Structures are given as structure tokens and as C-alpha cells.
Amino acid sequence: MPLDLDDARLRYHYSFSPEDHERLPFYSALMRALESDELALELLAGVALEQRNPMLVLGALHLAALRGHPVLAPDYEAAVRGEIVDVPGAARTVIAALHDDPALVRGELHRFTQTNEPGRSAVLQAVIARIANGRDRTINLIDVGTSAGINLHFDHFPVRSRDDDNPLTLVCQDLAGVNRSLALPDVATRVGIDLSPLDLAVDDDRLWLKACLWPEEERRHGRLDAVIDARSSWPDSTVLAGHAMECLHEALAMGDREHLTIVMNTWVVAYFSKADQAAYFDEMVRLCSSENVAWASIEFPWVVDWPSPSGDGQPPRKGGSQILATVPGGSPAAWGWCHPHGHWLWMDDLT
């Protein structure tokens, strides 16, 4: 089948929100350069549909820089420090390095986009506290598409409205409806599922996690380092390697049956086939209505083909992700919107 270069161009074009383009001058220029480059289009168009995400190409180039590529490393290091003087020139340099050695990207396209963003725990704290409120003081937690399992420890991050000196602090602007005084439940069991789990103790996995970060966001790099340091002092978790639909029941069986199990998925369902998206939705609806299970889902509504209870509702800020959740025995309801990395949160008033 011929490669669909127009589709690849659109994917590069729409990957960053307007706010990302403003905030990340180097990555914005690079994304625009990739969008106009025939080789970059071909590389992306050749990736299996479920993984055809420009972040994979950006991650592969960043990985080469982190491994010390003589041309890329200086540019990316300058980007981290916010010291790139000629931004379009730096983007052209990256494209030239790609043309010199397309294997820099081609050799990494077997990977998955695995950004494991702890900022999402700021949203998860608010959603999980609301699900458990007044009902369950202890829960089992399952994270579908867990990557390195960082958000299985959602309860180990302080959440504040402004930054402080703690690299683990998550800064989240609560725009509406968020009650941070609700207590978080205790977590009895923490089980992740991932097609290709990453292990914070493995060098190559740590490097790929870093490569999936955006170089101009120094705060995120510092936080990942702090998570890697802190992880050994956090409770144990188990990660099952496999497809979400194949591992879900095994994960449920690992929970303590006395307690409510909350299944969460954050920015993963876009990587499912359309058939799997529908099957997963149906299964979650069934589990929430018939078992002691509740669901917290945070995904982009335009890539996930689910009946949306918010109808034509628009996010309060462009590029927002939709929060769908259930209480045990309930059906999925729209609970609000958030920034994809948890920078802001808007929760609907459900009373």
C-alpha cells in the first residue's frame, strides 16, 4: 500500500497545541520542519497506524542526542538550557542530521510513544479522591498503559498551585470544581498493564523515558530524575506485559476483593485499534455496572471514539483532554477537562 504522506503531514501539523508552539520554540520549529520534509513524512507514514505519532520521531531524534550524537547533542543541550540563539537554524541542523543518517529514526520506530507523565497524577488525585469519597477508604488500582508505572504512585506527589523547591511537586491550576481537601484513599494493590513496560532500573528504559520528554521543559527532566531516585522508597507495584484487553482480568484478579478497584487509563486508548477502543469501553461499562469496579479515563476525545456524555461540550482551554469517570454501579459520565500534562484541571459540578 502506498504511504499516506498527507496523513503524516496532518499528524505533524496538529500534534502540538497552539500553547505548545508558543512555549517550545525549538520543538515548534522542528515540528514545522518535519512536517515539510519528505523523508520525515515517509518515516512517520511507515509506522503501524496505532503508533503513528510524531512524538515517536521526536523521541528517536532526542534519543540520538542523549546518546551523544555529535551534531544533535549540542543543540538539544542548548534547548534544555533555553540557549538556542538561531531556532530555525537549529531545526534545520536536526533535519540535516536525519538526512545524513535516517537510521537514527528508522532504527527506533519499533518503540512505542511511552511518555510517562507524573503531572497527570495531579488530575488523578482529584478524580480518584472524588470516586472514593465517602465510600471506600482503601482501593485497588489498575493503570492501563502504565509505561514505567509512575502514575501508579499518584499519591506520592505533592500538588500545588505554584512551584516550590521540591522537584516532585506537581503544579496544577484548579480552574473549577476541584476539591483538594478530599482525602486520598489508601492503595492496597497497584497493578499496571503495558504492551511494552519500561523499568526505571534499566538504563535503556530510563533513556527512552527521557527521550520522550520535550527538551525545553527542564522541570520535567528534573522531575523524572527525582522519581527515579524516589521510586525505591515507594510501595511495590506489579506490571503485566501485554495488551490491555488481554491482561485486564488478570489484573482485576490480583486485587483484594474486599476493596473497590479503580481502573484508570491516561493517554493510552488512542494507541488502540478502533475495534479495541470499542471493546474496552464496553468492558469497562460492564465491569462498573456488575463488579466492585470504578473507572477513571483521561483521553483526547477526538482520537477516542466513545459515546461522549458531554455531547458537543468543548474544553475550557484549547487542546484539553476529557475526563470520563464512573462510580461503582454507575455508567460513564463526563467529569471535566484537563491539560494533557496536568497543568490545569476543570471539574464539572456533579451535585
Ligand X SMILES: C[S@@+](CC[C@H](N)C(=O)[O-])C[C@H]1O[C@@H](n2cnc3c(N)ncnc32)[C@H](O)[C@@H]1O
How far apart CA 25 and CA 48 sit, in angstroms, is: 29
* Closest separation in Å from C-beta 211 to ligand X: 13
* Closest separation in Å from C-beta 61 to ligand X: 17
Q: Between 26 and 154, whose beta carbon lies closer to ligand X?
A: 154
Q: Between 244 and 262, whose beta carbon lies closer to ligand X?
A: 244
Is residue 168 within 8 Å of 135, Cβ to Cβ? no
* Closest separation in Å from C-beta 212 to ligand X: 8
Cell numbers of 226, please?
Answer: 527525582
CB atoms within 10 A of CB 290: 9
Strand (E) positions, the chain? Answer: 138-144, 159-160, 170-171, 173-176, 186-194, 238-241, 260-266, 293-299, 321-325, 333-338, 344-347
* Closest separation in Å from C-beta 208 to ligand X: 10
Q: Between 28 and 113, whose beta carbon lies closer to ligand X?
A: 113
Give the closest residue to 60 by CA, choosing from 120, 9, 141, 114: 114
How far apart CA 79 and CA 45 sit, in angstroms, is: 27
* Closest separation in Å from C-beta 175 to ligand X: 20
* Closest separation in Å from C-beta 319 to ligand X: 15
Q: What separation in angstroms does the CA of 157 have from each of 119, 171, 226? A: 9, 10, 11
Instruction: Tell me the torsion sign for CA atoms 341, 20, 347, 273.
Output: negative
* Closest separation in Å from C-beta 74 to ligand X: 28
**Residues binding ligand X (CB under 6 A):** 112-117, 120, 145-147, 151, 193-196, 243-244, 266-268, 271-272
* Closest separation in Å from C-beta 289 to ligand X: 23
Q: Between 90 and 198, whose beta carbon lies closer to ligand X?
A: 198
Q: Between 196 and 314, whose beta carbon lies closer to ligand X?
A: 196
Report the DSSP beta bridge partners of residue 347.
336
Q: Between 221 and 243, whose beta carbon lies closer to ligand X?
A: 243
- Distance of alpha carbon 160 from the chain centroid: 20
Q: Between 28 and 266, whose beta carbon lies closer to ligand X?
A: 266
3-state secondary structure of 182: coil
Q: Which residue is nearest to ligand X (CB)?
A: 145
Q: Between 209 and 260, whose beta carbon lies closer to ligand X?
A: 209
Please, what is the Cα angle at 271 between 270 and 277, to 5 degrees?
65
